[in-house]
Amino acid sequence: MKTVRIHEYGNADVLRIEEMPVPKIADDELLIKVHAASINPVDWKVREGYLKEMHLHSLPITLGQDFSGTIEKVGNSVKGFKVGDDVYGRPSIERDGSYAEYLEVKANECALMPKTITYDEAATIPLAGIAAWETLINKAKIQKGQRVLILAASGGVGSLAVQIAKNRGCYVIGTTSSVNLDFVKKLGCDEVIDYMSQDFSQRLTDIDVVLDTIGGEIQEKAFKVMKRGGILISTANKPNQEMANKFGVRCEYVFVGPNAHILNELRTLIEMGQIHPVIDKVFRFEDVKQAQNYSQSGKARGKIVLEVVK
């Protein structure tokens, strides 16, 4: 099978398309024929070595954090899946990923794919969808009427987070660039702030929940707009606890792992038409370097798809 692997850390030139044996599966695993994967910022962060201190894996490794595909083989102890099922999932970051024609995953790392969307669309959901759900539903426990600020609302996580928060009856505010203002409004934002011309920290007050996917200075500004007792959750970096204490709010960092339960929740919402995937661009498997460079540019509106099987 063809895979995309790295043998060293660096820019997109270290990505190699290589031939490898089709994986053998254990009793608690599934073998997936991958139709599509998506490109996430964590992919090029792994490629450049930003996460090597976490000792999650050793080189060489196949990249890719989420997928859609069809089950080819079912492990002897696996229940609830059969050969031919369409599934989507977020494999463990600790082993080979989804930039490959075949992938072995634990059965609890994937779920049946929503019936109302394509393979390309399904591949965009797992990582970003789990992140949005874990931060807003499980950690922040958002409630109807709360004021929720989504930083980078047009991105992969942000675009799903806006829809999830709106579905829960929240008043949703999103930051984005001027070219994406209408796009973010259509996702469901009640208020949109153009970060290129407006400083959200000078405009907003009484925010109950902040979802931060940016980190750094932007994250620190967010503390200033929050209501005491609110919560800031970041997928970018560990928030500053001293800042949180100063403003009387809680803060958490979330690193997203596999979660079949959340994928099942998302499938229900997708099939009901209450949230929908957002694809910016689709790249061919052999154009993986261009795909990762586009992700790294920060210009993506929604998700980037790597089409493994046409």
| Domain assignments of the chain as residue spans, ordered by start | 2-125+277-307, 128-253
List the one residue out of 110, 206, 125 whose CA is nearest residue 164. Answer: 125
Q: CA 146 from chain center: how many Å?
A: 23
pLDDT tens-digit map of 17-74 = 999 999 999 999 999 999 999 999 999 999 999 877 775 778 999 999 999 999 999 9
**How do beta strands 67-74 and 29-39 pair?**
antiparallel
Measured from the Cβ of residue 107, the count of other Cβ atoms closer than 10 Å reads: 22
Element (DSSP H or E) covering residue 18? strand 16-19
List, for the chain, all residue ranges whose pLDDT scores fall below the cut of 70: 55, 310
Enumerate residues 6+ apart whose C-beta is below 8 A from 53.
none
What stretches of the chain show up as alpha helix (H) in DSSP?
A: 41-48, 119-123, 126-133, 156-167, 181-187, 200-203, 216-223, 241-247, 260-271, 288-297
Q: Give the domain 128-253 fold.
A: Rossmann fold (3.40.50)
**2-125+277-307: CATH number:** 3.90.180.10
What is the structure's pLDDT at 219?
95
Q: What is the pLDDT of residue 50?
A: 85
C-alpha dihedral sign at 202, 206, 210, 216: positive
Alpha carbon distance 38, 271 (integer Å): 20
pLDDT, residue 212, reads 97
Residues 14-30: pLDDT tens digits? 999 999 999 999 999 99
State how far the Cα of 62 lies from the Cα of 60, in Å rounded to an integer: 7
